[in-house]
Chains A and B, each alone.
Chain A
Amino acid sequence: MTDVLIVVALLLVAGAATAAVLNRDPVRQALVLSFLGLALALLFTFLQAPDVALSQLAVGSAVTPLMILLTVRKVRRRPGDSTDKGRER
């Protein structure tokens, strides 16, 4: 049964990683990245590594998304040639 959990978590991680790369808009990517962090934390727990899972959760659920979102806000703040990346999608 542990193996089943590990395989499902592995597939979730692989899917989330692929989705994170294919979402080209940073804000959407940040949402997928926090899902990836959660999937990784679940996988690590099933691999009997709760310490690593805690580390991943702590970083992935709030700190990394906050930094990415703040960077996006800063970068889009000034009107300029490439600020409209998000609009073109």
Chain B
Amino acid sequence: MTARGRLWLFLVGAAAFAMVFVTACFSLPPFGSVHHPYGERAVRAALSHHTANVIASVNFDLRALDTLGEETILFAAVLGTVVLLRQTADEQRTRPEPAVVRPRVRWFALAMLPFAMLIGLYVIAHGQISPGGGFQGGVVTATALHLLYLAADYRALERVRPVPLYEIGDAAGEAAYVVTGLGALLAGSAFLANVLPLGTFATLSSGGTVILLNAAVGIEVTSGIVVLLARFLDQAVEIGHADDGNDHGNDGKERV
């Protein structure tokens, strides 16, 4: 199909979509309306399970099976990326030259590293009380690790970041989620049911299995993102095609 034909097809489709969508919008309850039957039930259920953060409760308790599905998509996406970006037979690794980093940037990145790490862990750990949780905190923690790449270069990051360990962590996080669910079965309840003592409302130990599932997701997301970025960094910085010749001399080098 030509680019022109495709654009026309899009315009016709977009016009039809816009018409239907706008009609639907005017039939929806107006923005900010007070009637939220599901929301109210979710809030009641979360409070009865002593979980202060209702969103964490929906994710890891009321709809825990759904989150298992989401987590599996994440796992599969990471796995797919690892397979796609593996080093093939006709590729070779080159050692990039050390990067030139301004001292100011280096010190800043090194000083921020522990802060960012702590903030990430804080966001994971407080998931059942305040805004946050395994998904968000996991990404922050994984990003924090890459401040080391900004402070020095990829080789420095490689030295302190054993990728196989994070690959195991990714799988272990997924497995821990399923095992927690099966534990509920052993305890004589349904898969992923909240069987642990619920604890005191709005404390770190409240929410029963929410804490465990939250931690499992935190581990999986942290490891998953680290592995993803490791594969991309490998490809962009180290791995080159065997025919590239002296191309690396310039391009493997890092700047700033």
Q: Does A77 contact B (CB under 8 A)?
A: yes
Q: Enumerate B127-163 residues with CB–CB distance to A below 8 Å.
A: 131-133, 135-137, 139-140, 142-143, 146
| Stretch from B63-71, B191-199, B230-238 contacting the other chain | B230-238
| Contact indicator B225/A63 (Cβ below 8 Å) | yes
- Across the interface, do B131 and A77 meet the contact criterion of CB distance under 8 Å? no
B123 to chain A: closest residue by CB: A54
Is B251 a contact of A77 with CB atoms below 8 Å?
A: yes
Q: Are B235 and A74 in contact (CB under 8 A)?
A: yes
Instruction: Please judge, given known A-B contacts A70-B236, A78-B241, whether A55 and B229 are in contact too, CB under 8 Å.
Output: no
In chain B, positions 17-42 with a C-beta closer than 8 Å to chain A are: none
Contact between chains at B229 and A66 (CB < 8 Å): yes
Say which size band chain A's interface belongs to: 10 to 19
Q: With A and B bound together, what is the CA distance between A29 and B233 in angstroms? A: 20
**Chain B interface helix/strand/loop/mixed:** helix
A24 CB to closest chain B CB (Å) equals: 14
A58 near B: Cβ within 8 Å? Answer: yes
Number of chain B residues close to chain A: CB under 8 A = 28
- Chain B contacts of A78 at CB under 8 A? 240-241, 244, 247
* Residues on B with beta carbons closer than 8 Å to the beta carbon of A67: 228-229, 232
A70 to B232, CA, bound (A): 6
| Nearest Cβ on chain A to B36's Cβ, whole angstroms | 12
Q: How far is the CA of A71 from the CA of B228 in the complex (A)?
A: 12
* A84 is an interface residue with CB less than 8 A from chain B: no
Question: Would B236 and A74 count as touching, CB distance under 8 A?
Answer: yes
B131 pairs with A63, CB closer than 8 A: no
- Using known A-B contacts A67-B232, A71-B232, A74-B236, determine if residue A51 contacts B143 with beta carbons closer than 8 Å: no
Tell me the bound Cα distance from A55 to B218 in angstroms. Answer: 13
Contact A70 B235 (CB under 8 A): yes
B183 to chain A, nearest CB (A): 26
Most buried by A among B225, B229, B236, B237: B236
A62 nearest in chain B by CB position: B143
Q: A59 interface residue, CB < 8 Å from B?
A: yes
Set A54, A66, A71, A79: member contacting B136, Cβ < 8 A:
A54
B236→A51 contact, CB < 8 A: no
In the complex, A50 has a CB within 8 A of chain B:
yes
- Which residues of A approach B to under 8 Å, CB–CB? 50-51, 53-55, 58-59, 62-63, 66-67, 70-71, 73-74, 77-79
